[in-house]
Structure 1
Amino acid sequence: MILGVIADDFTGATDVASMLVRAGMRTVQVLGVPEGELPRADAVVVALKSRTIAPLEAVA
């Protein structure tokens, strides 16, 4: 993996993932914190729901 991205919602994660794919990077997008191994990729984009939850929960 070359790049890891944490997005605060699904839409933002999808925007970033699509730009990375267009730039030629093999990209995996996951919902929430991934468990276990991920497929081989140049970039992993993690979509969280941190925009819509309480601030203390978002940073936990």
Structure 2
Amino acid sequence: MKIKLGCIADDFTGATDLANNLVRSGMRVVQTIGVPASPLAADVDAVVVALKSRTIPAAEAIAQSLDALKWL
């Protein structure tokens, strides 16, 4: 899978809003809840990773965000 755009959102609502806007602009989008454990099988243009980093301690939020970045 070769994606054009990878996004990390700090909550589900923001991730959903972003994914919706990307779909409206014609992109094929997958939204995940948390960092996926394996590569996606879908052929998509963009992936939006929804985290809960807004409501957890800063160190955990940073670690989750970096994990999402590594996955992307």
The count of aligned residue pairs is 60
C-alpha distance in 2 between matches for 1:36 and 1:54 = 26
Match of 2:36 in 1: 34
Alignment of 1:45 with 2:63, yes or no, is no
More helix as a share of residues: 2
Structure 2 length normalisation: TM-score? Answer: 0.81
More strand as a share of residues: 1
Alignment of 1:2 with 2:9, yes or no, is no
Match of 2:20 in 1: 18
Structure 1 length normalisation: TM-score? Answer: 0.96
Across the aligned residues of Structure 1 and Structure 2, the Cα RMSD in angstroms comes to 0.6
Identity over the aligned pairs, expressed in percent? 67
Unpaired runs of at least 5, structure 1: none
